[in-house]
Amino acid sequence: MKKIFYYIILSAICILPYSCSLDEESRTEIDKTRFMLNAQEAETVLLGVYQSLVSDAMYGMNLSFLFNLATDCEQVEGTTTENFRIIPSNAFNSSQAEIQQTWAALYKAIYNANDFMEILEQRMKTFNETDRQLAYLYIAEARAIRGMCYFELVRRYGNVPLMTNTAMSEQAPSTFVQEKPEIIYQFIEKDLIHASQTLPYTSDDNERSSTKFRMSKGAALGLLTKVYATWAGYPVNDTSKWEEAAKTAKTLVESRKHSLLNDFEQLWMNTCNGVWDPTESLIEISFYSPTASGGAGDPCGRIGKWNGVKATMIAGERGSNAGNVKVVHPFVLKWRNKDLAEGEEYHEDLVKDKRLALSVANYLYNPTRKLCVQGKSDSEEKAKENDRLPEMKNKEKQGYTPAKWDLEKYVQNKLINNDKSNANWYFLRYADVLLLYAEALNEWKGYPTKEAYDAINEVRRRAYGNSEHDLSGLSYDEFNQAIKDERAYELAFEGHRRMDLVRWGIYYKTVKETYNAINAWFQDNEPEKNKPFNTAGRYTKLGKHELLPIPQRDMDLCEQFVQNPGWEQ
């Protein structure tokens, strides 16, 4: 599917100066009477709907990592709120460009999905039987994408308009209204149930020409599980959805059509090289570009460039990696010490959870060798030891970056570009669904069931390489905390933590606790040079930053809109 992106024929969306982000009617379109006359042509346009997901405003940057910082696990680099830092510092206002761009990009993707389905539903009436059956699958894929986009809108922006067809784009901005989140969730539910009932599991698919990076039954069931778990949490708090989450996840788990990869590191070798393995990957955003020019039709992202291991440029060999995402060091300390016996002092060899070294990089790349952050080591092995050196400053330890997208280590064919990469983004892994299944069972039943233990322990056994660290005998509260911790370790830096903290109703509390933890940990032995920094801890407000603001541009044009709490100007 990657290379096909370059041959897509898709309607060009032009937003006129007077338009709000919702009335994205196509002004320069392909001749609809001459295209999508068979399943092959329809599939080409469908791949264009998928391409709606790859821009910087979508999963190229904003929805993958930029909007998901400011947690107890990760934060933005630097001590100011300048430039890109303003978003992950929670210091922006409702007029921030990225907030409006992502809102508009999500509605553009929804428009594209609606447009595709409306045309295909008419065209397929003249298709032969084989093409008609493919058309049903393509419509189900488009509905899954639409459901995914609405999920992003409702969980990030709250009360949002519901655009169910392209004709609604012809309305005057003053007529648009917001729907309650419950209505949006019900719409998402219908889309994903339809997709799960229509699409086959990837391993059973004998009809589509390619299933690479495409929606499937497993993807729809996994996403619907995540939707129910979010619906059950803050701010809607419809706890009846825990039962639906558990039952939906059970269908996927008991199908045995998906499982965990045996090797955790293989996940990152795969996604950094565009290798499609549906064993664990349920929804993966695919990026491809032969040049990484960053143009409008160039589907490459910033994965690994901004949120990977820091690297300097080598002319003609590799571009630089900024390393703008930093790992919160108290989180590293918690992860390292969680399995140590009482009184046992940390040593690298005593860390039993194999995910830690593959998730946190205490090293960087300079033009000649791999270094730890403070520049004292000439090998990765020594780098692992150096953060225990007494002369290493805490400010340097706070400079560690995520290691999952170590482009220098994993990527075989590097793009020589300072900003763009071909690394993919996991939106949903099977491990995520297992942990949601365990959580939903505990919430629904009021205690951890055998199936809940089986699900969380399946994730932990891969992490430790054995069953010696299986959980058992926990109360509801203890299991609830174990889920919160396990999701942090398994899914670290993959864009889930902030949304998890919001749905658990503890986002503000956690941000403030993280700020205090960094201050308490930081050894201020050079007052002027080594001050602790956590900008989100300074700006985050309770009851405000759980949601993004409705973009001010749309507030001004759509007279009936009501701004989210705390964002009123």
Q: Which residue has the higher pLDDT, 7 or 559?
A: 559
Look up residue 8 and give its two tokens.
Answer: 């897509």
Looking at residues 485-510, what average pLDDT do you find? 98
Sign of the alpha-carbon dihedral angle for 493, 498, 500, 504: positive
- Let me know: does 388 contact 382? Beta carbons within 8 Å: no
Query: Strand 74-76 and strand 26-28: pairing?
Result: unpaired
For 78, left (φ over 0), alpha (ψ -120 to 50), or beta? left
How would you class 206 by CB atoms within 10 Å of its CB: exposed for 0-12, middle for 13-18, buried for 19 or more?
Answer: exposed
The DSSP call for residue 418 is: S
* Confidence band, pLDDT 50/70/90 cuts, at residue 2: very low
CA–CA separation, 176 and 561 (whole Å): 8
Place of tokens 């059956």: 133
pLDDT in tens, 352-366: 999 999 999 988 888
pLDDT in tens, 84-99: 999 999 999 999 999 9
- Angle, helix 430-445 to helix 217-231, in steps of 10 degrees: 40
Q: Which helix or strand (DSSP H or E) is residue 482 part of?
A: helix 476-490
Q: Which helix or strand (DSSP H or E) is residue 487 part of?
A: helix 476-490
Taking 70 as the threshold, does the pLDDT of residue 537 lie above it? yes
Q: Which residue has the higher pLDDT, 181 or 338?
A: 181
Sign of the alpha-carbon dihedral angle for 109, 111, 116, 121: positive
Domain boundaries, the chain: 3-72+93-268
Q: Helix or strand or coil: residue 252?
A: helix
CA–CA separation, 563 and 157 (whole Å): 10
* Confidence band, pLDDT 50/70/90 cuts, at residue 261: very high
pLDDT at 122 (0 to 100): 95
Query: Between the CA of residue 441 and those of 29, 257, 451, what are the distances in Å?
Result: 48, 21, 8
Look up residue 40 and give its two tokens.
Answer: 């092959």
Tell me the CB-side half-sphere exposure of residue 98, using CA atoms within 13 A.
Answer: 23
Place of tokens 């809109």: 561
Query: Between the CA of residue 126 and those of 131, 199, 243, 352, what are the distances in Å?
Result: 9, 22, 42, 60
pLDDT at 292 (0 to 100): 55
Q: Tell me, what amino acid is at 313? A: M
Helices (H), 199-312: 217-231, 241-255, 264-272
Q: Which residue has the higher pLDDT, 528 or 196?
A: 196
Query: Strand 281-285 and strand 26-28: pairing?
Result: unpaired
For 20, left (φ over 0), alpha (ψ -120 to 50), or beta? beta
pLDDT at 21 (0 to 100): 65
- Angle, helix 430-445 to helix 476-490, in steps of 10 degrees: 170
Segments of 10-85 assigned E as strands: 12-13, 26-28, 74-76
Instruction: Give backbone dihedrals phi and psi of 253, rounded to 5 degrees, phi first.
Output: -65, -45
Place of tokens 């295909």: 120
- Let me know: does 463 contact 355? Beta carbons within 8 Å: yes
pLDDT in tens, 442-490: 999 999 999 999 999 999 999 999 999 999 999 999 999 999 999 999 9
Q: What is the DSSP string of 67-127?
A: GG-SSSSEEESSSS--GGGGTTTT---TT-HHHHHHHHHHHHHHHHHHHHHHHHHHHGGGS
* Confidence band, pLDDT 50/70/90 cuts, at residue 520: confident
- Let me know: does 345 contact 443? Beta carbons within 8 Å: no
Taking 70 as the threshold, does the pLDDT of residue 75 lie above it? yes
pLDDT at 27 (0 to 100): 35
Query: Shortest CA distance to 199 belongs to which of 137, 147, 251?
Result: 137
pLDDT at 342 (0 to 100): 79
Mean residue pLDDT across the chain: 89
pLDDT in tens, 323-355: 999 999 999 999 999 988 877 877 777 789 999
CA–CA separation, 281 and 223 (whole Å): 12
Q: Tell me, what amino acid is at 210? A: S
The DSSP call for residue 559 is: T
Q: Helix or strand or coil: residue 327?
A: strand
Residues 6+ apart with CB under 8 A from 435: 455, 456, 459, 483, 486, 487, 490, 491
Q: Tell me, what amino acid is at 46? A: L
Q: Which CATH number fits domain 3-72+93-268: 1.25.40.890, 2.60.120.10, 3.40.50.300, 3.40.190.10?
A: 1.25.40.890
Residues 6+ apart with CB under 8 A from 547: 156, 157, 158, 235, 564, 565
* Helices and strands in the chain: count of H runs, count of E runs: 19, 10
